[in-house]
Structure 1
Amino acid sequence: MKKLLLIMGLALGITGAASAQQTFILSTIKHKGFISMTAGYSLPTVSPFGKINEKMMGHGQSGQASVGYLLGRRLGAVATFSHVTNTIRKEVLIESASGQGLGQDSWEASASNCSLQALMVGPMVTITRGRFLLDAQLTGGYALATSPHTELRSEFSRQPLSMITPSQKTKALAVGAGLTARFKLNRWLAAHASAQYITADIKYDNMTQEIQIGQQITSQPLPVSQPVVGLLNLGGGLSLLF
């Protein structure tokens, strides 16, 4: 029994020493840049451009590719491309249509996801602690937004009624901020977790709605829509260090 405990103790000691040695080696290696891929979860939140229609937008998915490079000891530059898709809450669509004189129970709603693609650049500050690297970023650039395709269906005077709003694309200025924590797995690879915030001042000014009652179809322009978008993207991934 004593021999078994001694062997286990020696094994743990050797493993601990090897881990400490690897940590020391990796902490002394300096890297100037990274290329990272991140996937995660998207949540609608507030925006400095105004109040977001957070009742309409639901959760979604996010993906981001980023490249960063240190220009000095801690200060550097970063470029990011983000693609985010969010669901549309159908119950809110039905609630908005209930003002047409029909009850909420008589409507059926369907909607595609809305999406936002943003290409941004900006400064980055990096702090190194052993095998950990912490990046703080501020970015700005352009975003391409796509509104959802929505359909509302009901009956009016015993005739099928539908209200269809096609999706539309628009461009807008976008700003963002983020924090990323990286843990070095080896000389060239790190695992990371990140929290990224993106907001854009979006404006849809040519939207139309198609209304069909029975065989009669009419099309009418919609008021200018400015759904201010603020998104918090939480995710993780891998970074290639160089």
Structure 2
Amino acid sequence: MKKLFYTILAVGLTTTAFCQKTFILSHQDKKGFISASAGVSLPVGSFANCNSSAPQACMAGQGVAFNAALGYRLAGPVGLMVRGEQHRNTVDTGAMLDALYRNDSDIWTAKADNWSVMTVMAGPYVTFPMGRFSADARLLAGRALAVLPNTSMSGNFGRTEMSVTTTGSQSMALALGGGVSLRYRLGRLISVHLDADYSRSDFTFKNLTSTAISTDKRSESLSYSSDRTVSVVGVSAGLSILFSTKYHPF
């Protein structure tokens, strides 16, 4: 009987010690993280403007956003972060057609590729621990690469069939952004997080051309440039891998 009692006691003490160790390790302060997330891309400002009379209207719609980040705290709550992000946004083809003067009996359709914007930025961030929760705030700067989409419209003016195509282009520019994250520790090495980020870049797209083709005519414009401001808000969720423990009690 005593042997059984001591066996149960030993198991109980071992289990308690393991639970205590697990609890301590799950709350250990981690100095670095690698994260990945996905969510929605929301255009704002002139990037979302669908008014054809606005000179920089981009007619972008809601899209998807993917990002990955690496952060490491250098002094207390302050650290440095490198973050890469990809946005893909649709084009409002209905707004494209609204810009076209035509009679009610004329039938037109429009097609467009997606906007594509990729940013790589770095900068300081501050983290605020709250038990298993923590909040991050960051200010970033870097470079952005954007692809202005190809567009096309086709239809008729009375009995005349016609199509208009505009070539896209790529451009690089300075990117500025910032954001916040809310994290929750699931264990020693894993946390889940919600991100909200804003970024803005001013692009100049060069060597653009427009071509109009009718039944018996073809006309092509000279190459021209277009200035566009791309500003987006990304809201995403994902996982983080935590590393570099500050203290080692075990």
Same structural fold, with TM-score higher than 0.5 when normalized by the shorter chain: yes
1:158-193 per-position Cα deviation (integer Å, ceiling 9, x unaligned): 232000012211111111101011111110111111
Is residue 2:44 matched to residue 1:72? no
Unaligned runs of 5+ in 1: 1-17
Q: CA-to-partner distance for each residue in 1:28-70, whole Å, 9 max, x for gaps?
A: x011110000100011113xxxx44522111000000110000
Alpha-carbon contact 1:80-1:121 (below 8 Å) kept: yes
Which amino acid is 1:54 matched to?
A: N
Structure 1 match to 2:201: 200
Query: For the Cα contact (< 8 Å) 2:142–2:175, is it kept in 1?
Result: yes
1:105-152 per-residue CA deviation (whole Å, 9 max, x = no partner) reads 522111111110001101110111111121111100110000111110
**Deviation per residue, 1:74-129 (Å, 9 max, x gap):** 1100001111000100111001122xx54595221111111100011011101111
Q: Is the partner of 1:54 in helix, strand or coil?
A: coil
Amino acid at match of 1:211: A
Offset at residue 202 of structure 1 (A): 1.3
Please state if 1:34 is matched with 2:33: yes
* Map of 2:44 onto structure 1: 45
Match of 1:187 in 2: 188
What is the Cα deviation at residue 216 of structure 1? 2.6
**Contact 2:140/2:178 (<8 A) preserved:** yes
CA gap of 1:131–1:166, structure 2 versus 1, over 3 A, is: same
Q: How many residues align?
A: 218
Moved more, 215-224 or 80-89: 215-224
Give the drift of 1:222.
6.2
Question: How many percent identity over aligned positions?
Answer: 31
Show the 5 A alignment for 1:46-65: 46=45, 51-55=46-50, 56-65=59-68
User: What are structure 2's unaligned runs of at least 5 residues?
Assistant: 1-17, 51-58, 244-250
Query: What is the root-mean-square deviation in Å for CA atoms of aligned residues?
Result: 2.1
1:20, distance to aligned residue in structure 2 (A): 9.6
Could you tell me which residue of structure 1 aligns to residue 234 of structure 2? 233
Q: Is the 8 A contact 1:95 1:104 kept in 2?
A: no
CA distance in 1, matches of 2:168, 2:105: 23
Q: 1:205 Cα deviation (Å)?
A: 2.8
TM-score w.r.t. structure 2 length? Answer: 0.81
Kindly indicate whether the alpha-carbon contact (under 8 Å) linking 2:106 and 2:157 is maintained by their aligned counterparts in 1: no
* Partner SS for 1:201: strand
Find the counterpart in structure 2 of residue 14 from structure 1.
none
Shift of 1:217: 2.1
Q: How does 1:117-132 map to 2 (within 5 A)?
A: 117-132=118-133
Task: Name the larger-Rg structure.
Answer: 2
The 2-side partners of 1:119 and 1:165 are apart by: 28
What letter matches 2:85 in structure 1?
S
> CA separation of 1:105/1:20 partners in 2, compared to 1, >3 Å: closer, same or farther?
farther
